[in-house]
Structure 1
């Protein structure tokens, strides 16, 4: 319990990974060579560059979207100053590695805590997840966790059980869609390559417990983890396109600061009623037909070309109708709504709600009673000038429009909560205070966590700024004191917290709500690496030899020293929280050299990429009947006395045997 109380963001002191450091240095050296190479190309290029005809340009290009494919360009290693710098850095890092073997560092977890952490990571009888809201750590019985997921998956209006892994069929369909768009000139070749992932991961589903609704039997918020899946890049591309249309609605709220700015222009009267509406399970409630129609209407009203509209709607329909995931060895398809966790889901939901408001909210007979209507995706803030009875009738009218779209209503004559703000009605207008849910916990990062000191020391200031931005003068002193106590409870030095507190007190809410624009572009070359016990020494080595680069012909590209950009090391979340649900755990370590039982590709032929691989249960599933067959050894296509069964679309099309059978 003491380990979990540190929070899932806590990072234990890591062991130095010299292999990862070597990769990070190689990437950094490549950036230096590229910087020098393109600095030469830019200076020697002609002013009159060839232009591309507008008529020859595709409707969507990878360059226009700001996305990019992984570069395979090999730059020449012909700048002597850079190569000398690389050699000296490698030499000093090798010396550091040789002298680092006997160095001991203080571990921020003692022996008992490290043993407890190891036991928690191996215990499959419990499932550890962050709470849906509030920052608490929830320890659930794995049986109840599995039952809650199956309870939701058994809803046949939303999910459909598939008989086989649909990845190959969906990949073929996607390739056909992209080839057609490429042939018609709607996308360019680079964008086509970006949208198609050759070896995609299978999406998995998990839930976040909603303990703010029930502490002992919390319902779960379903999240589909689709990182590196076939939908990942398509969803990123669609989010880039749809974001412009999702934010154009007059009631759109970007974040808390945007809401506070808009709240100031809303009139407040004595009989004003404050209300909030929340759409129940919005993401899974949007029918595909209505969602696609909403996007089509939004793009048509923006005078988007037919070609662009066709590309977006075709890809969006593919993502919505083919969205699938696995759970416990079974595959499911989402028949309704969009997967929560997809990049384009918020923009898609915003567009759907915007069209719904245009059709039914703004045209309602009760709309004149709404002094203000502000919406953040599925959360709506309403200032109502009518009676309570009219508000209830308006709520009933909204729920009667579409059975799958249901709203929950809360209202008050004095105060109400919206986002992380408590809005209080006063005689002079609206006052605001920081809203803290009853289930919220002190989830601030512990001071002993293995993070860069600059990151740790900046947290009190950023959180106190948030408190000052949200809270009016009447409540600010109390909230600042409460926030400072939270940091002190997490081990932060008193002098650090006191200094930040005094700085925050002199600021006003007005100046913090003024939008700030970032115009300065940082040209410093970043060294990106995982933060470890030797990061400071490596940083010193990189900076020590930097003056050598001033001797290069491209010295102007290296006039500023590199910036150290650290990735966090492994946290408790990485060790304890998994998106893939596993009933059992292998006793052997899981590395690419581990040998386990099951059916696996040989990695030496193209046919094996279609193999149904064995999972942690050492079984394979027959696609047609979903029956499980146990494999008692590790096999591949090179084994003798093996019968091969080829399936297509869940149908057995061929049975063959190895030549020696």
Structure 2
């Protein structure tokens, strides 16, 4: 099996540590569930999904009890070596483990070199400028002035004005002032850019050089046929586009000398994104392109994901390959990547045959968005674990109890929709607690959008109801947040 690991640290990794990392950071080990989390998720399902959102206020129903016992699978004998390896990697403060920006590799690097590289890039005064203060308020004021002027001139209506100033809406349930979330603090200009982008998209698609995606790219080249026999294949790319655009004084219709391009050309073969374009006698053919540094990082077959997802992954990936690869002989070799990740050979052959039966021309056509019928099924969202099947069985087995009550039967005609959150992946298990230079916010705060907000006392401390002694709250507590 091809290794995903690139170790450029001074640490010598053990066999178990290499084995763990080669499974990929998206790999999920067997998870038996967390009893407290499961209790909270089922409570939310019964209280918010079943009772609050679907029953009339005058109908009362007692929450059922569902007892599920969970065990610590890290104690299992055959998994001890892996858990020891994960613990050793997690506790080593001299290294950092990250997925490569491109190529799907997993990189182990000395933390000192990692921080030095980050600081070297941020210290580049050509591309970055050190701020003396937080500019968020200035951005808010500027957007407010511009949008108010546009509203007064009739360029936008009141609805759009409110949309563009979403960031400044305070939390209505906090009379002492809103608790600004990180979303509000870092997305000041999000709605503003989204509004502008909506107009630009209409113009961009009309440009002759516009390519929507790789499927559009293949479709355009497929139509060339033998007319490209004497042509030169070339690609042009922009070097560091965002850091090359002047901050002020730029004109779209003028030449900007700071923007540089790279040109690659060849008489017979060239690559664009993940597509290899080759000239043949009667036109062009296409193949999958991978850089020498690219790794095959498909999810391992024994990762603890829902079985339906594991079954569908090879088919969806092979359909993607089917769109790219135009020659049958090259397409057949792609299933080998899944064999190396532990997928069953028999099922792979069936999936390969199923994908080959799909006409490539039909896969290249642009498909409109499917309009799904709105379902009235109540979602039951839990973290996927070895107990998920049991929870689903018990709920479905007893769902007829709700359907048998004539007073509420109309609200529960369909069984609930079981939806799963991913259980802890290898990346989450092996990651170290994050640190920040920011002063942590402590105390009790309202989230601003749940029923519990009216029932809590906010502040940095609380008083014992009997002794009157005050206790400082040493962590950040927010209603409707359990982790």
Contact 2:90/2:432 (CA < 8 Å) preserved in 1?
Answer: no
How far the C-alpha of 1:566 sits from its partner, in A, is 1.2
Contact 2:315/2:351 (CA < 8 Å) preserved in 1?
Answer: yes
- Match of residue 458 from structure 1: 312
How far the C-alpha of 1:436 sits from its partner, in A, is 1.5
Contact 2:32/2:73 (CA < 8 Å) preserved in 1?
Answer: no
How far the C-alpha of 1:121 sits from its partner, in A, is 1.8
How far the C-alpha of 1:506 sits from its partner, in A, is 2.3
* Structure 1: 4+ residue segments shifted above 6 A: 102-109, 604-609, 635-638
Q: 1:509 aligns with which of 360, 383, 389?
A: 360
How far the C-alpha of 1:15 sits from its partner, in A, is 4.7
Counterpart-to-counterpart distance in 1, 2:164 and 2:24: 40
- Match of residue 156 from structure 1: 125
Contact 2:33/2:384 (CA < 8 Å) preserved in 1?
Answer: no
Q: 1:495 aligns with which of 331, 334, 346?
A: 346
Cα 1:462–1:109 shift into 2, 3 Å = farther
- Match of residue 131 from structure 1: 100
Cα 1:231–1:193 shift into 2, 3 Å = same
Counterpart-to-counterpart distance in 1, 2:129 and 2:258: 18
Counterpart-to-counterpart distance in 2, 1:563 and 1:193: 32
Structure 2: runs of 5 or more not aligned: 1-17, 153-157, 171-177, 446-456, 462-470, 475-483
Contact 1:196/1:230 (CA < 8 Å) preserved in 2?
Answer: no
Deviations 1:104-130 (A, max 9, x none): 799697211111111212222222221
Contact 2:380/2:416 (CA < 8 Å) preserved in 1?
Answer: yes
- Match of residue 231 from structure 1: 186
Matched, 1:421 2:275: yes
Matched, 1:287 2:246: yes
Q: 2:31 aligns with which of 14, 27, 45?
A: 14
- Match of residue 64 from structure 1: none
Matches within 5 A, 1:555-570: 555=409, 558-570=412-424
SS at match of 1:2: helix
Q: In the comparison of the two structures, how many residue pairs are matched?
A: 414
Cα 1:102–1:137 shift into 2, 3 Å = closer
Cα 1:8–1:201 shift into 2, 3 Å = farther
Counterpart-to-counterpart distance in 2, 1:113 and 1:105: 9
Counterpart-to-counterpart distance in 2, 1:262 and 1:8: 37
Counterpart-to-counterpart distance in 2, 1:414 and 1:468: 22
SS at match of 1:155: coil
Matched, 1:535 2:388: yes
SS at match of 1:409: strand
Matched, 1:120 2:78: no
Structure 1: runs of 5 or more not aligned: 38-75, 203-227, 294-355, 361-400, 584-597, 610-634, 639-661
SS at match of 2:107: strand
Counterpart-to-counterpart distance in 2, 1:566 and 1:599: 31
Matches within 5 A, 1:83-482: 83=61, 87=63, 90-91=64-65, 93-94=66-67, 97=68, 100=69, 110-163=79-132, 166=134, 170-171=136-137, 174=140, 177-178=143-144, 181=147, 185=158, 187=160, 192-193=165-166, 198-200=178-180, 228=183, 230-232=185-187, 234-235=189-190, 238-239=193-194, 241-246=196-201, 247-250=204-207, 251-266=209-224, 268-289=227-248, 356=252, 359=253, 401-473=255-327, 476-481=328-333
Counterpart-to-counterpart distance in 2, 1:187 and 1:3: 51
Matched, 1:484 2:335: yes
Cα 1:525–1:514 shift into 2, 3 Å = farther
Cα 1:603–1:105 shift into 2, 3 Å = closer
SS at match of 1:433: strand
Deviations 1:519-553 (A, max 9, x none): 33241332222211211111122222333443455
Q: 1:78 aligns with which of 58, 68, 84?
A: 58
Cα 1:559–1:237 shift into 2, 3 Å = farther
TM-score (norm 2): 0.74
Contact 2:301/2:341 (CA < 8 Å) preserved in 1?
Answer: yes
Q: RMSD of aligned C-alpha atoms?
A: 3.8
Counterpart-to-counterpart distance in 1, 2:76 and 2:343: 18
SS at match of 1:464: helix
Q: 1:31 aligns with which of 49, 65, 68?
A: 49
Matched, 1:526 2:483: no
Contact 1:24/1:528 (CA < 8 Å) preserved in 2?
Answer: yes
Cα 1:566–1:601 shift into 2, 3 Å = closer
Counterpart-to-counterpart distance in 2, 1:170 and 1:608: 25
Counterpart-to-counterpart distance in 1, 2:95 and 2:35: 34
TM-score (norm 1): 0.55
SS at match of 2:197: helix
Cα 1:6–1:17 shift into 2, 3 Å = same
Counterpart-to-counterpart distance in 1, 2:240 and 2:102: 15
Cα 1:257–1:599 shift into 2, 3 Å = closer
Deviations 1:252-307 (A, max 9, x none): 3232222212222346333211111221222333334368x7xxxxxxxxxxxxxx
Matches within 5 A, 1:633-648: none
Counterpart-to-counterpart distance in 1, 2:75 and 2:206: 54
How far the C-alpha of 1:244 sits from its partner, in A, is 4.9
Cα 1:179–1:107 shift into 2, 3 Å = farther
- Residue range with higher mean Cα deviation, 560-569 or 28-37: 28-37
Counterpart-to-counterpart distance in 1, 2:256 and 2:111: 36
- Residue range with higher mean Cα deviation, 547-556 or 13-22: 547-556
How far the C-alpha of 1:446 sits from its partner, in A, is 0.9
Deviations 1:569-600 (A, max 9, x none): 111222345796779xxxxxxxxxxxxxx986
Contact 2:444/2:460 (CA < 8 Å) preserved in 1?
Answer: yes
How far the C-alpha of 1:24 sits from its partner, in A, is 2.6
Cα 1:541–1:186 shift into 2, 3 Å = same
Deviations 1:163-192 (A, max 9, x none): 45x2xx624762785598579636466874
Counterpart-to-counterpart distance in 1, 2:418 and 2:51: 18
